[in-house]
Amino acid sequence: MDLSVGFNAKKKAATMMKIKTLYRFSLRSLPQWMGVGVLLLIAGLDGAIAKTGDSYPVKPIRWVVPFTAGGSNDVVARLIAAKMTESFGQTVVVDNRGGAGGLVGGDTVAHAPKDGYTLILSNPGPSINAPIMSSNAHYRVEDFASVIFIGYAPLIVLTNLNFPPKNPRELIDYIKANPDKVSWGSSGIGSSLHIGLALLQAATQIKVAHVPYKGTAPALTDLVGGQIQAMLTTTLSAEGQIKSNRVRVIGIASARRSSLLPNVPTLAESGIKEAEALVWFGMSVPSKTPNAVIHILNQEVNRILAYPEVKQRFEQLGLEIEGGSVKAFDQFNQNEAAKIRKLIATGLLKKE
């Protein structure tokens, strides 16, 4: 246990005074070896208290969102940051550092001071995919320490209305009968939508013509127009097209059905296993940030995720709340990184 957490300046001084007084009182009556042990204990406590400082946080916190303002990443961060500001009594500032598919924000946090005052909104792109796949990444997956898995949105399979398949099984059968002839869009090389396609290919051995776009919006436009036949995305991104019946939703790449689309089957219940694909959000800090600080952040965000108004907003966004322990999120990140490395090894993904 880190004994320095929660001490303010007066408490530190009083604690050290009590320990030193106890030492002076006991020194005469204790054997020499025990006296030396007490002295070493005092030195260790004094150093630990001085090293960590006053209660965390004692100044504003910067939460880097590695994408531009207005997207789902930004909405999630600002919702939680506002609640953290209220409870911590210190401002949690959301800092949008978009660019290079999230690499700019990722690099900013990976090389920030390891004191808990610079956070990143974790996301598959900058946290996992980019540092493994991109030669332009100047940081590694291991340069981040996990704090908490905030939530996720399962990817959904959309098709053009004139495309024959009406369900996941028909989709796979059609593509296998027409290898490399179905144009499948994504929001770009290495994006979550591209990774989702690679996972589906690995699970089913289908072959499609991948068409990477610069973002989800132009891909959806071409899906509606018939320039591509299928793609994966989230309900939040395709909300307008779904509500106006301009695309067909034929499957969900998650373990359970969506409350927003209760009549749409999952890929798993259609017999397509190991194709689960998510767009997820979490909180991470630079590696080697003190464990005590990570624990405080984890507890605080878990508490916020239980608020009824936060749950309601997540539901409106089509996001599932996760929460949980530091260890659970760390294991999740390791599993996600392993998936990417396996897809590269099998040739379904390529390093850029």
156: CB partners within 8 A, 6+ apart:
232, 233, 234, 235, 238, 249, 251, 252, 253, 258, 261, 264
Q: Which residue has the tokens 């608020």?
A: 307
- Burial class (CB within 10 angstroms; exposed 0-12, middle 13-18, buried 19+) of 275: buried
- 169 pLDDT tier (thresholds 50, 70, 90): very high
- Residue 101 has a pLDDT of 72
pLDDT over 90 (residue 206):
yes
Going by C-alpha positions, the residue among 3, 4, 107 that lies closest to residue 53 is 4
Going by C-alpha positions, the residue among 307, 309, 317 that lies closest to residue 154 is 317
pLDDT tens-place string over residues 36-57 = 444 444 344 334 433 443 589 9
Cα dihedral angle (184, 185, 188, 190), rounded to 10 degrees? -30
- 79 pLDDT tier (thresholds 50, 70, 90): very high
Average pLDDT, the chain: 85
Structure tokens at 79: 């919702």
Angstrom distance (rounded) from CA 239 to CA 245: 10
Is the torsion defined by CA of 1, 300, 337, 311 positive or negative? positive
Structural fold of domain 61-153+280-345 = D-Maltodextrin-Binding Protein; domain 2 (3.40.190)
Spell out the domain ranges in the chain: 9-52, 61-153+280-345, 156-270
Q: Do domains 61-153+280-345 and 156-270 have the same CATH topology?
A: yes
130: CB partners within 8 A, 6+ apart:
101, 102, 103, 106, 137, 190
261: CB partners within 8 A, 6+ apart:
156, 235, 249, 252
Angstrom distance (rounded) from CA 227 to CA 218: 11
Angstrom distance (rounded) from CA 152 to CA 122: 11
- Residue 32 has a pLDDT of 52
Question: DSSP of 287-319, one letter per residue?
Answer: TT--HHHHHHHHHHHHHHHTSHHHHHHHHHTT-
Residue type, 127: S
pTM over the 0.85 mark: no
Asked if residues 179 and 247 have their Cβ atoms less than 8 Å apart, the reply is no
CATH code for the structural domain at 156-270:
3.40.190.10
pLDDT tens-place string over residues 287-318 = 999 999 999 999 999 999 999 999 998 988 88
- Residue 337 has a pLDDT of 94
